[in-house]
Amino acid sequence: MGNNIEKGKRFVSAVISRLSPGGIQDWLSVLLVFLTLMVAALSLEQAHWVSSSLSLIQTLIFAVLASYLMIILRLRNKVTFYWTLVLGLLVMIWKSSSTVQRAEGQWALNAWWHSISSSLPSQNSLYFGMFLILVTWLIACLSIWFVLKKRNVWVTVSLGAVMLLFNLSNLPNNYYYFLPLYIFVALLLIFQVNLAKQNDMTNRRRGVKPLHTTIYLVVAVFFVALLVVSVAWVSPQPPLSQIGVKFNTSSMHNVDPKKNWFNIFSNVQDKWPWVESKNENQLLFTAGQNESETILYLITSDKPVYLLTRRYDTYNAWGWTSNPTVDKSVSAGTALTENTPATPTQPLNFSVENRAKSDVVLTTGQFVSADIPVTLKAMPPNPDNAAQVGDVMAVTSPWVISPYQRYNVVNSVPLFTPEQLSAVYGVFPDLIAQQYLQLPDDFPYNVKNLSQDLVKNANTEYAKLMAIKKYLNTLEYDRKGSVPSVGEDAVAQFLYSTKKGNCVNFASAMVTMLRSVGIPARFCTGYLHGDYDKKTGTYIVRGKQAHAWAEVYFPGYGWIQVETTPDTGVNTSSDTSLDTATFNFTDELPIQIPDDINPDDLGPFPVIASTPVHHTSVIWIYLSVFGGLVLAIAATRKVFDVKVGRLVKVNNPSEAYARMCYLASFSKAGPAAQETPLEYAKRLGSVFTYRSEAIDNITRSYAGVRYSPRKELTEENEKNKLKESWKEVCHTLINRRLQARKWFLVRWLWHPKQ
């Protein structure tokens, strides 16, 4: 009975030894590799790039188990490589087929094959899912192999970090928590693998390290990692969008898929809204009202402003368009002064932080400059002055402005009082009259007649404007708007049939009615100022705050913004936070000179942004801190290398023996007063058995020059043997010295040569 029990114990011990050649250290390494990569894989899963049913965690589990099994079976590297690829392809097919929708009774594999065979990689997001599965599998297998076979942790940490940052740089900042979580687990893995490496060397040389030392190191590692992550958590969020590891998704939707059939990213749903200037080339009355709660911009401004995206000059029964424009590139900080009116103006500046991908640059009033390069969509210049910039219809960026990027815009607005505008009579420049009095040939006469009846008692341009505005204020505001019937003119239907509409209807009516009575006007689109957030001091602009208004030309003052939509009675003074901001509608922004300003004291508009405004990107702060940390570690290692290098260099046996006794004394293994050198060498050699031969060689060389007429070594081979022996003993004694608790950090940063 006893023999059977002993055999059973030996069998279990053999099985455990076979399953874990490195003992508990290997199992702990595998667990931490899995946890490290799991954070990166989980961030990809939570983003739902392909399908909510795509499980990268399951792929990771199978990859870790398969690679660990191949290692304990001691397969040759070439065989392991082929098996890894074959199993990875099978898992990729299996997991991706589970995400495909299939008909009742249809096999998952059949549905998968039909899906990939009937579409190009650029047309089917399933290919991107297969790519994620295969990448996850290969990274996990490589990580396990390097950690267990080479004790190399940096392959795991680097590949996992690339996968995580690639994902987070394409997501909003509310996914940021994955980064400190990854840092925490990765630090645990780094420390654990280095601990395993030291234990391997300890086991080969002097037996197993005491359990209390291992426990101390594990606890220390845990709290160091916790401290680092705590600092990362409370520090400002890094601008991951600036790292540059992005992939194009919705930006490819206008590209012929046959030309980029291999681009597996082109059909992946982007996580950011897009605001593209080319989509605003025309405005259709049939387009629905934007009801999106998505935050598009954060505006920092001293006062609420209208945010202009596009101006239109050509009216049609179905919508608005603009005449062909010319592009004019303007470098950062370059100010436009050619079109600035001679009358008093006021600078109106604001800062924009994008929360969408956009090439639209928000402006207001007269654009002056920006601290980023821009492209002006302008009307052709006056033939008599080709150097002058024509009317700016839109301002765009030459490239896409990414989320969380900021830019500053300098604008000017005319200063006036109602009394001053009332004194202006309508004598308009020829170019203004030709371009902004346009109406279709079939424009309804009843609208023209109504407009003329409204202004028959008005003698000035301002009086005519206010008469039409007063009439429009009697109509009902309806956010859904008035959509024209087929063949009907939108303005006529709004004024005579529905008698209710949204901002587009009111602004269109105002512009066309003003043109009907000979006043130049144009149609503008953009956004309301947004909702003020006390916490951030910014105005939050959401998609549903898209707005339309009119600009009216007053000789001597230029273009003046006019709110055409009547007040809806909604309270506009609410203080809302970034998370709870709701739509607020305003009647009219102040466009008059403040009461405390005398118009006669105002001179011409000063150019306040003639030089570029430079910003320090937050990413450089992180890179500087990281670079400083790397330099500090490198400097520390260099200092220890220099000091140890000097200690290793000896010129005679007496110097080598003295230094050996000095270093050994730190480990309480120094020579006793009654010991001879040979006796001490024997005792020290019993402590460092794997260096006993080198210790004996140093001691005999010392005794030979100390107690004989020969005072130095004469043979070259004796000198070389002494130097090699001392180098081995020196590094061993330093390594023993660093095992003390107070040298824990140094032992992690620097390792003596073995």
Output the domain CATH number for residue 433: 3.10.620.30
Task: Give the CA distances from residue 131 to residues 33, 50, 80, 262, in Å, rounded to whole numbers and listed in that order.
Answer: 21, 11, 21, 12
Asked if the structure places residue 675 within a domain, the reply is yes
Give the DSSP letter of residue 409: E
Tokens (6 digits) for 48: 């739902």
CB 604 within 8 A of CB 340: yes
* Cα(409)–Cα(423) distance, integer angstroms: 32
How many other C-beta atoms are found inside a 10 Å radius of the C-beta of residue 545? 24
pLDDT for the residue 599: 34
CB 680 within 8 A of CB 671: yes
The residue length of the chain stands at: 754
Same domain (yes/no): 561, 415: yes
Q: Residue 316 in 3-state DSSP?
A: strand
Asked if the structure places residue 257 within a domain, the reply is no
Tokens (6 digits) for 78: 């070439």
**Domain boundary residue among 584, 615, 646?**
615
Q: What angle do CA 502, 507, 513 make, to 5 degrees?
A: 125
Same domain (yes/no): 215, 284: no
How many other C-beta atoms are found inside a 10 Å radius of the C-beta of residue 657? 25
* Cα(342)–Cα(340) distance, integer angstroms: 7
Condensed to tens digits (0 to 9), the pLDDT of residues 535-554 reads: 888 899 988 888 999 999 99
Helices (H), 146-262: 154-168, 178-205, 211-234
Asked if the structure places residue 248 within a domain, the reply is no
Q: How would you classify residue 244: left for phi > 0, otherwise alpha for psi between -120 and 50, otherwise beta?
A: left
**Domain boundary residue among 554, 585, 615?**
615
pLDDT for the residue 279: 82
* Cα(742)–Cα(65) distance, integer angstroms: 38
Condensed to tens digits (0 to 9), the pLDDT of residues 398-436 reads: 988 888 889 999 988 888 888 888 888 777 888 888 889
Q: Residue 410 in 3-state DSSP?
A: strand
Q: β-strand 326-330 against 374-378: which pairing, if any?
A: antiparallel
Same domain (yes/no): 344, 390: yes
Nearest to 341 by CA among 362, 364, 365: 365
* Cα(332)–Cα(334) distance, integer angstroms: 6
Asked if the structure places residue 700 within a domain, the reply is yes
Same domain (yes/no): 153, 77: yes
| β-pair partners for 138 | none
CB 421 within 8 A of CB 554: yes
For residue 500, what is the enclosing H or E element?
strand 500-501
Same domain (yes/no): 36, 173: yes
CB 290 within 8 A of CB 541: no
Place of tokens 């190191």: 217
Nearest to 689 by CA among 195, 199, 207: 207
Tokens (6 digits) for 92: 């990729």
Residues whose CB is less than 8 angstroms from the CB of residue 88 and which lie 6 or more positions away in sequence, other chains included: 63, 134, 137, 138, 141
Residues whose CB is less than 8 angstroms from the CB of residue 26 and which lie 6 or more positions away in sequence, other chains included: 20, 148, 196
Q: Residue 197 in 3-state DSSP?
A: helix
Tokens (6 digits) for 278: 């080319």
Give the DSSP letter of residue 560: E
Residues whose CB is less than 8 angstroms from the CB of residue 622 and which lie 6 or more positions away in sequence, other chains included: 238
Give the DSSP letter of residue 260: T
Same domain (yes/no): 302, 400: yes
34, 40, 41, 45: CA torsion to nearest 10: 150
Same domain (yes/no): 283, 185: no
Same domain (yes/no): 145, 27: yes
Query: Greatest CA separation found in the chain?
Result: 131
Task: Give the CA distances from residue 106 to residues 24, 114, 213, 353, 697, in Å, rounded to whole numbers and listed in that order.
Answer: 46, 11, 59, 49, 79
Place of tokens 């654009």: 367
Give the DSSP letter of residue 477: E
How many other C-beta atoms are found inside a 10 Å radius of the C-beta of residue 741? 10
Nearest to 714 by CA among 728, 727, 704, 724: 704
Asked if the structure places residue 571 within a domain, the reply is yes
pLDDT for the residue 443: 92
| Domain enclosing residue 714, as ranges | 626-749
* Cα(263)–Cα(245) distance, integer angstroms: 16
Asked if the structure places residue 263 within a domain, the reply is no
pLDDT for the residue 673: 80
Same domain (yes/no): 601, 633: no
* Cα(699)–Cα(691) distance, integer angstroms: 12
* Cα(300)–Cα(724) distance, integer angstroms: 69
Helix, strand, coil share (%) of the chain residues, nearest 5:
50, 15, 35
Same domain (yes/no): 173, 235: yes
Q: What angle do CA 595, 596, 601 make, to 5 degrees?
A: 110
The pair phi, psi for residue 47, each rounded to 5°, is -75, -20
Residues of the chain with pLDDT under 50: 15-16, 207-210, 232-259, 569-619
pTM: 0.60
DSSP character string of 564-589: -SPP----------TTT------S--
* Cα(488)–Cα(496) distance, integer angstroms: 11
Asked if the structure places residue 621 within a domain, the reply is no
Same domain (yes/no): 198, 305: no
Place of tokens 């929708």: 101
**Domain boundary residue among 551, 580, 615?**
615
pLDDT for the residue 747: 66
Q: Taking the alpha carbons of 314, 317, 320, 323 in that order, is the dihedral positive or negative?
A: negative
Asked if the structure places residue 384 within a domain, the reply is yes
- Give the number of domains in the chain: 3
Same domain (yes/no): 610, 662: no
E strands present in 506-557: 521-527, 531-533, 538-542, 546-554
Place of tokens 């001293």: 302
